[in-house]
Structures are given as structure tokens and as C-alpha cells.
Chains A and B, each alone.
Chain A
């Protein structure tokens, strides 16, 4: 028990040190604040700005520049851009989050199984991982999206099954080192099965790394959703930032100079992706001792 307690204390202290470093690191702090803002908007925003994609505005409301009544103007269907934007934040963030979750689950399972099993299983799984790592992501996603058809769930699925390879590599590398530690050997000697060891002993030890790579995968997932939707593979029944950009481009808002239609969703995407990137970058500096200033 005593050992467990010191261990818990140590872990808590490490966590506190980590949080202190996050606070001290301006990049990580900025990223966290920006992200928190968008998450909050996505959760409570739609209650204050009810919005329905299928509800079109009046003819005189079409493509009106920002002004009273419509703070950010209206789109080609006479819908309020601000309302669209807020409704879009919900879908964009949700798709990003679920796709990231799927990536993490696939990447972690494949990484742990490959690293722990070794030999042929490892070889085969790593060949598959390399294959997904190598294949250009956008063409692959486009082809898969074309096959599956356009729906939000398919987009999540497409991003999930194509973007896990990086995580699998990181997790495998960590698993290889955890596997060699004594406590695993001890657990094996008292007769624990492979499944038990992977779930209860390897997983908790690779988890911090999974978390670190989650951040960067999330940034990529948001970009992927936006790009796929922009290229016309989004779900027309749901408002997302990518869909907004798609309609803006399709209806020629770019060439007619209707900036209020495509500037705001783009800025939102950049802000969220940048927030994730800043956090990921800062964590890398914190976690990687080699990069610390001498």
C-alpha cells in the first residue's frame, strides 16, 4: 500500500509540474484558451442562435454584407452567417473529436498488439501501418468517401480509418520498451494472459504518448473534414465550416467578393487547427527533454 501511495504522490507531483509548465508556456496556454472558447460556443451557442440549414431566408436577404440584423451578413440562401457559423462549430468539432477518437482506438490497438506480439504479427501489422502512412491521405479519403457516400458518419469513418498510422507507430515503439520492463515479466510469471497484460499493464504506460499524439491527430482531423466537405463530400443535411466554404466557393462568393461568407468559417478552422497545433508543439517541447533550452 505504502508503495502505491508514494507512486500516486509521485504521479500527482509530476502532473502538477506538467501543468505548471503548460501554464508557463504561452503557446500551450493560448491554444487551450482558444480551444475552450470554441468548445463552449459549440455547446451553448446554438441555444442562443437557433439555426436550421434547411430554412432559407427571404430573397432580399440574399448575400447581404454585414449590417444590423445580420452581424456577419447572409449567405446565398439568405441564411444568417453568424448562426451558420455557430451551428457549424458544433458539427465540425464533433466530427473532429469522433474521428480523432476512432484514430486513437485503432492506432492504440494496432500499436500495442504489434509491439507486444512481435515476430510475424508485428511484421504484418507494421507493413499495413507503413502502407497507410505512405498512401497520400487526401486522394485516399476522397476515394473512400466516394465509395461510402456522403454522410457525417462516413466522414468520421473515412478520417478514422486513414489517419491512425502515426499513432500506431508511436504506441508500438513505446510498447516495445514497456514490454521489456520487469513488472511485465513478473506479471507473466504469475500467469497473466497476453490480453490482460496489454490492457492493464501496457495500455496505462503508453497512454501519455497516446494523449500527446491525439492533439496533432485532432488538428489533422479538423483539416480533413473541412477539405473533404469543401471538395463536395460533406453531408448537405448538416451545417459545418467545410460545407459553408463549399457553398461559398460553388456559388462564386470568392470571385464576387462576398468576403463575409467565406472569411469567417476559414478563420474559425484556422483558429481551431492552430490551437491544436500550438498545444501539440508546446507539449512536444515540454515532453522532449532534448529540446529544452540549455
Chain B
């Protein structure tokens, strides 16, 4: 692949990340609850004290110097200290990454597989009863707020059927005989949030897949392939699928980047101890350093995922390469 183009994409990604940092810096600079106004609210702090505090936090410097200090701290992994946990933000976030990645990862795989199958079948049987059924299901799932879907699942599986735990990652206060028993308990807790996330994502994948397959099937080269006498299944597998998968690659990569944003609703409803519920709690408790940290992570992840999808796209689609610039 062309090294110059990758370099260009990489430069763009870095520019975007720089803007993300700048944006993040300013966003949290205008927050109503900055440290000085919070301390001065009590009315007991003298102007000299406030000036000292400002100096201590570097708030008396011009903004570009403050931004520079922010970047310097960031490069050293210093994201500030969480008000809520009284621990460095980086440590708080670090402990939450694994639960989210596992939950989202598994759900994503299921959603992609089911969504692709739905989409292909729907496009192939276009206009038939099966297509109408699958398309309606996809559109319905796509229209549902994920958190509401979660509430419905809780109602069905936890209140009426009473077969699955309602929230959390492990049964509180339970002692486990071995790691296997603990893993089983975690898996049991993971079932509902995972189903919820999977159902929430199937719609988008199925709808996208359906329309790209329909698009590809209307191309001339498909007609040619059919005219050559290849069977329908062969044409679908070998001629239509490679091209129909291209938009899916972008969608999958971008959705992988949305890991934090995607998890907020589900993790809040099921109290899953991941990054999404962490962001929600940071917001509810107005824990700004933590909020800023999670927000930064979520945006950088998306930019990175986009960069990856661009590169991947170029690797699998020769047409993009030959177009240049």
C-alpha cells in the first residue's frame, strides 16, 4: 500500500486528536464548577487566598500556557484526580476498561454476525414476506432506545421469569469455591446486558447490509455473472459479497470506536461496572476530572478507529487506491 497516503491519513488523525484535546481543554475550562468558584462560594475565602489557589492550579497563566501544561501532564499520564474516588483518574479508568471491552466485544461479534445474515437474506428475498419480516424487525430494533430495551429485558427475565440477575457483575457478598464458579457467576450477569447490546446493534448492521447488497446486486457485473450461467448462490457469495462487505468494514470499525458511548445506556441500566456507567456516575456526581478523562478516552478511541477503518478499507478495496489523493 501507498506509504504516502497512510502518512497523510496519520497526520489527519493527529490533527483531529489535537483538536479533540483543544476542545476538551476549553470545554472543561468553561464548566460552571471550576475549583476557584467552588471555593469562593462559601464566602470565607479572601481574595488573596483565591489568587493563591489560582496560582497553585496554574489558572493565572494565559490560556495557551495552561493548554501547554495540560498537554505536558497528559503526556505523563496525569489526568488529574477524581473527586469521587480520590484516586488518579487514569487508575479509575484503567480498572473499568476490561468489563466494557469484554461486554461490548462479545455483543459486537454477535450483532455483526446476525446483522450480516439478516441483511443478506433480506436483500436476496427482497419484497417477499421474509424480507418484510426481517426488515420490520431490524427497523423496530433500530428505533428502540437501548436503555428501554434493557428495562424490558429486566421486566421479562428478572421480574416475571426470575431466571437472571438484575444488575452488577457478580452476586454481592457471595463466596466462590473456585475461579470457575466465579466465572460462571460473571457470565450469568453478563447475559442480559449482552443480549440488550446485541439486539440494539443488529438493526443498524442488518439495514446497512441489506441496502448495500441490494446496491451491489443492481450492478452490471452481477447481471454478467448471472448471464454466464453461475448459480444464484455462487454469484451472491463470490461476486456480490466482497463488494457488499466494504461499507460494513467502515461501520464495524466506527462502532468499535464508539465503545464508551455505546456502553453508557446499557451499563447504566444493568449497573455493569464499565466505562459507560463510570461516565454516567462521573456526570451525576459532577466529578469533572473523571468526566474529562472518560470523554477524552472515548473521543480518541473513535479517531483511532476511524483511522484504522480508512487503512483497512484501502487494503481491501483496490478501487480506492487507484483513485489517488
Binding site for B on A (CB under 8 A): 127, 130-131, 134-140, 142-144, 146-147, 149, 219, 223, 226-227, 230-233, 245, 248-249, 254-257, 259, 262-263, 266, 269-270, 273-274, 277-278, 281, 290-291, 293-294
Contact = CB atoms under 8 A, between A and B. Distances in A.
A131 B148 contact: no
Contacts of B303: 134
B139 A278 contact: yes
A48 B202 CA distance: 40
Given A136-B261, A270-B143, A290-B218, A254 B30 contact: no
Interface string B124-165: 001100000000000110111101100110110011100000
Given A127-B15, A147-B31, A254-B154, A230 B294 contact: no
Contacts of A257: 155, 159-160
B14 interface: no
Contacts of A290: 215, 218
Given A134-B299, A278-B139, A290-B218, 20 more contacts: A127-B19, A136-B258, A136-B260, A136-B261, A136-B262, A136-B299, A140-B295, A146-B283, A147-B32, A230-B147, A231-B264, A255-B154, A255-B158, A262-B148, A270-B143, A270-B144, A270-B145, A274-B140, A277-B142, A281-B139
* Interface residues of chain B: helix, strand, loop or mixed (majority): helix
Contacts of B283: 142-143, 146, 231-233
Contacts of A256: 159
B241 to A, nearest CB: 19
B166 interface: yes
Contacts of B19: 127, 131
B151 A266 contact: yes
A266 B291 contact: no
B147 A245 contact: yes
A273 to B, nearest CB: 4
A135 B11 CA distance: 18
Interface of B: 15-16, 19-20, 23, 27, 30-32, 126-127, 139-140, 142-145, 147-148, 151-152, 154-155, 158-160, 166, 207, 211, 214-215, 218, 257-258, 260-262, 264-265, 268-269, 279-280, 283-284, 286, 291, 294-295, 298-299, 302-303, 306
Nearest to A272: B143
Contacts of B207: 281
Contacts of A293: 126-127
30 contacts: A131-B16, A131-B23, A136-B262, A136-B298, A136-B299, A138-B264, A139-B260, A139-B264, A139-B295, A139-B298, A140-B295, A142-B279, A143-B291, A146-B291, A226-B145, A245-B148, A249-B147, A254-B154, A254-B159, A255-B166, A257-B160, A262-B151, A266-B145, A266-B151, A273-B144, A274-B140, A274-B143, A277-B139, A277-B143, A290-B215
B30 A147 contact: yes
Contacts of A248: 151
B152 A266 contact: yes
A11 to B, nearest CB: 28
Chain B CB within 10 A, most for which of A130, A146, A273, A294: A146
Contact of B261 (A137, A147, A232): A137
Nearest to B16: A131
B89 to A, nearest CB: 15
Contacts of B261: 136-139
Contact of A249 (B140, B269, B299): B269
